[in-house]
Chains A and B, each alone.
Chain A
Amino acid sequence: MTISPPAAAANAADPLASVDALIEGLGSVGYIASRRIATALFMAVKLEKPILVEGSAGVGKTELALSTATLLGLPLIRMQCYEGLDESKALYEWKYGKQLLYTQILKDRMGETLADAPDMDAAMERLHGMGDLFFSEPFLEPRPLMKALREDDGCVLLIDEVDKSDEAFEAFLLEVLSAYQVSVPELGVLKAKTPPLVFLTSNNVRDLGDALKRRCLHLHIPLPEAALEERIVASRVPGIEAKLTRELVAFVQTLRSLDLRKSPSISETVDWARALVLLHAGSLAPEVVRDTLNVILKFEQDIAAVEPQVVELLHRK
């Protein structure tokens, strides 16, 4: 996407004006987005819906949320999901210690206040008249989800690897995602003033429920094409030579066509590019590739399978 400089300057003011402006804006904070990614993000903002990002590990799912937060200048609240995550860790918790102290104070004061009550009924009357603070906002310890809902100027909420959480937790998320509100039994319903921009990421450890999917926009980030990947590497690794970028991206693309246990994804390509720059490698020589193969391949078998054919793979274009 090439935009003439004056247009870019105009768009920089409002990255949410159009999809092109969004691509441009994400580019300025170092995230090279494909058109499809930008469109999905654009729709998420316009329709005020959460966005479910899927794709294999290392294609930039989490990075998209981070970059969006930077671009929009909003605080990022991140919640990592795992098996056994529950409400008290995701939503809120009562400050038990302080509540306990509060009851202690209350007890001390109670004697004074009720001392001059003529009989039991009057004492009870007076007791009911006192404000009940035990379950109230000051004793509430907000966790990520509630924090996100209480950000009055909006924020970016990243619910990372939602597929790792339990089904029960997924069901619990539904209320937050569809109405941007939560119900706390003791306090009632808390609703967000400004709905946060929600990103959910998933590695497909398990299939997510239809109810959750239905409430979200869906974005699948595939492994990028060569041209896009070259631009990503160039943007992420400053000072890398164009020739080296081209060669290493071509090599990684060939690797992806092989039958490997874990194909290298974008983060591996970027790491590799950084490693090569550090090693002052001007071009891809077979021995350099062999020495650094462990940066892009994460399984012993994969390395063993690729190592003998490095020379051949380098020449296959």
Chain B
Amino acid sequence: MQHTLEQFFRALRAADVRVSPAEAIDASRAVAVTGYGDRTLFRDALCSTLAKSAEEVGRFEAVFDTFFARDAAPPPPPEGSERDEPSEEDMAATESSPLAQAVLQGDSAQVQQSMEEAAARAGVADIRLTTQRSRLTRRLLEEMGLEEIERIIANARRMPNGEGEGLADRLDQARRELFAQAQQYVARQHDLYAAGSARELREERLARKQLNADGGVDPVDYQLMQALVKKMAKRLATKYARRRRAAQKGHLDVRKTLRRSMAYGGVPFRIEWKVKKVDKPSIVAICDVSKSVAAAAQFLLTFLYSLNEVVDRMDAFAFSGRMISVNDILDENGVEGAILKVLQEIGFQQTDYGRSLQDFADQHLDSLDRRTTVIFLGDGRSNFADPRLDIMKQIHDRSRAVIWLNPEPESYWGQGDSVMNRYARFCHVAKQCGTIEQLERIIEDVLRSYVPH
């Protein structure tokens, strides 16, 4: 049974429930207390030792139900069917194959056991891809001794006067059932061990996909991408959203120490150090949603949305022809609704960087101070209009940092109607950011070095 538990842990790990060796030991100890008799007790005990968050509990239950599936073993054949009583001759003819005898006797426990053993030999649990299923099914059946059954069937068919036909038909039937059973078994193993890794593979590929490629993100992958961006935002959130008290050891706070020492008759029992209170990050994010970045716009907005959930003090703007504040839209709608609404209101028009910067300067320049980090998400293509570098300079001078993330590669900057190279002069950081992976790395750098903490 220890082996079964180990397999179960592997299945859990494949389903993204992290099981450390220490937890595995705990689980074994828990099982030693509960025993295997009571299914609910067994499950709950394992659950409390292994699943460590609400999401993991959900995944745990799914894996548990698949792994310890009740219907894994087929129900015994109905009473009174002819297979219940295999004749003496049948038993004699199938003497060389214990599997055939078990099948004829309808001994499903025996069949199940030999299937488990064969599966261990055939390495079914190492399945990785859907395409491996049929090959592994075949190997599983071979390991179980299907060839022997096939030989007996062939022999029976060759017997004179059709004597063996009855036996051959029965075995043939049994063979088909066995095949179906093996297929089911392999499919279940695939669900347990491979389904999770396939998703991981897709996520990994998606994280590296160029977002401004033609057609943007595949609609099939869209949900996955949103989940990915959300995950990333959450990771950043746990790191940066909290205010920390950073004690600067080495700087003595004389006044405080003296005040404290009053209680002890002027003896400085307790030394007080200066503590720097940390400002919460304040971020202004400005997102281009015009035609030229159409493919990446959805992604940029998804990111904007996640960032809005992460950072307490964030002002979000979107522009193409003009600029509007999208704070309310992001706050009040779900992620898909919000993106749709922003695009409806302002999206896909002709870009006018100068005009939009003017809008920003009119309404919000005053809110920039030395604690504010300004993040631009856009391609810097101005349609040959005045780029208003003077406003850009003002923004640069007033804020703590200006960061420009451009979905286009650096070699395109300054070509055609791109004024990116000119804007870049007024940015503390200007970087290409074409994939989710790049985005995460850059944003993390940004938060680390430019957001005060």
Contacts and interface: CB of A to CB of B under 8 A. Distances in A.
Interface of A: 19, 35-36, 39-40, 42-44, 46-47, 49, 51-52, 54, 83-84, 96-97, 100, 166, 206-207, 210, 213-214, 216-220, 222
B248 interface: no
B20 A214 contact: yes
A220 B57 contact: yes
A218 B59 CA distance: 14
A126 B33 CA distance: 59
Contacts of A217: 26, 48-49
B63 to A, nearest CB: 16
A84 B245 contact: yes
B238 A97 contact: no
A47 B31 CA distance: 11
B54 interface: yes
Contact of A96 (B48, B238, B263): B263
A220 to B, nearest CB: 5
Given A214-B23, A214-B52, A218-B53, A43 B263 contact: no
A39 B45 contact: yes
**Listed residue (A43, A206, A222) with the most chain B CB atoms within 10 angstroms of its CB:** A43
B202 interface: no
B159 interface: no
B267 A100 contact: yes
Interface residues of B, number: 33
A220 B54 contact: yes
Contacts of B245: 84, 166
Contacts of A213: 52-53
A54 B238 CA distance: 18
B215 interface: no
Given A36-B47, A43-B49, A96-B264, A214 B41 contact: no
B125 interface: no
**Interface SS of B by simple majority:** helix
B18 interface: yes
A47 B29 contact: yes
B265 interface: yes
16 contacts: A35-B44, A36-B44, A39-B41, A39-B45, A44-B48, A46-B33, A47-B29, A47-B33, A96-B270, A100-B269, A210-B18, A210-B52, A214-B23, A218-B52, A220-B53, A222-B54
A40 B54 contact: no
Contact of A219 (B29, B48, B263): B48
B262 to A, nearest CB: 12
A164 to B, nearest CB: 10
B242 interface: yes
Contacts of B52: 52, 210, 213-214, 216, 218
**Listed residue (B22, B34, B45) with the most chain A CB atoms within 10 angstroms of its CB:** B45
**Listed residue (B49, B51, B56) with the most chain A CB atoms within 10 angstroms of its CB:** B49
B81 interface: no
Given A214-B20, A214-B23, A43 B54 contact: no
Nearest to A36: B44
A206 B243 CA distance: 12
A268 B248 CA distance: 44
A46 B20 CA distance: 21
A43 B267 CA distance: 51
Given A40-B44, A214-B23, A97 B29 contact: no
A40 B49 CA distance: 8
Contacts of B53: 54, 213, 218, 220
A47 B30 contact: yes
Contacts of A46: 30, 33
A39 B45 CA distance: 6
A188 B245 CA distance: 29
Nearest to B234: A207
A97 B57 contact: no
B279 to A, nearest CB: 16
B49 A100 contact: no
Contact of A49 (B18, B26, B263): B26
B51 A218 contact: yes
A206 B238 contact: yes
Contact of A40 (B18, B48, B242, B244): B48
B48 A218 contact: yes
B4 interface: no
Interface in B67-116: none
A43 B238 contact: no
Which 8 residue pairs spanning A and B have beta carbons closest together? A39-B44, A40-B48, A213-B52, A217-B48, A218-B52, A220-B54, A46-B33, A36-B44
B411 interface: no
Interface in B261-312: 263-265, 267, 269-270
Given A47-B30, A54-B53, A206-B238, A100 B44 contact: no
A124 B51 CA distance: 61
Contacts of B57: 218, 220
A267 B265 CA distance: 50
A49 B29 CA distance: 11
